[in-house]
Amino acid sequence: TPGCMLLGYARCSTTDQDPALQLDALTVAGCERIWTETASGAAAERPKLADLLSHARGGDTLVVWRLDRLGRSLPHLIGLLADLEQRQVQFRSLTEALDTSTAGGRLVFNIFASIADFERQLVQERTQAGLAAAGIPTTVDPRLVRGLDYYTHTLFEFRSGALDAAQNAVGGGGRYDGL
């Protein structure tokens, strides 16, 4: 399709690792542009990936050498792929032969998404069961929330007043002095 690009993403976890294998595979796959990053897979901030995602347009395909090069976890990967799908950007993982531009690739993606959702629900159920077994309430009384809001607001006002008093004591003009 004219105007559609293959956008490659290579990531190494440490500076000791060499991205050459990934770069070669992405080049052979036909990627016109490749973003390379050194960052832990668990790192929330990955500027090169963010830059790639900002350049991806509908019809483009994001290509990685392996799935683990893209996502921090299955839920994170599912979230990224869902965002790409919503923006009509395809995804291809060379090692796993996953390609969301095909019916089979979309099927595998949806199976992954279902597994991730199932895992989230199991964690929630286990957490609720553990809290119940420990006798810890699993819901919050709205009166407690209102009370917490009141005390937080009161503490803020007290601190603001104390700051004004301290500024006045040293010759400052109060709350807006120095703005």
State pLDDT tens for residues 115-160. 777 877 888 888 888 888 888 877 766 666 565 555 555 555 554 4
Is 54 annotated as catalytic?
no
- pLDDT score at 179: 47
Distance, in Å, from the CA atom of 163 to the CA atom of 100, rounded to the nearest integer, reads: 58
pTM attached to this predicted model: 0.64
- pLDDT digit string (tens) for 27-73? 999 999 999 999 876 777 889 999 999 999 999 999 999 988 887 67
Between the alpha carbon of residue 85 and those of residues 66, 92, 109, the distances in Å are 18, 12, 10
The pairs formed by 18-27 with CB atoms below 8 angstroms and a separation of 24 or more are: 21/65, 22/64, 22/65, 22/69, 25/65, 25/94, 26/63, 26/64, 26/65, 26/94
Catalytic residue of the set 13, 40, 93, 160 = 13
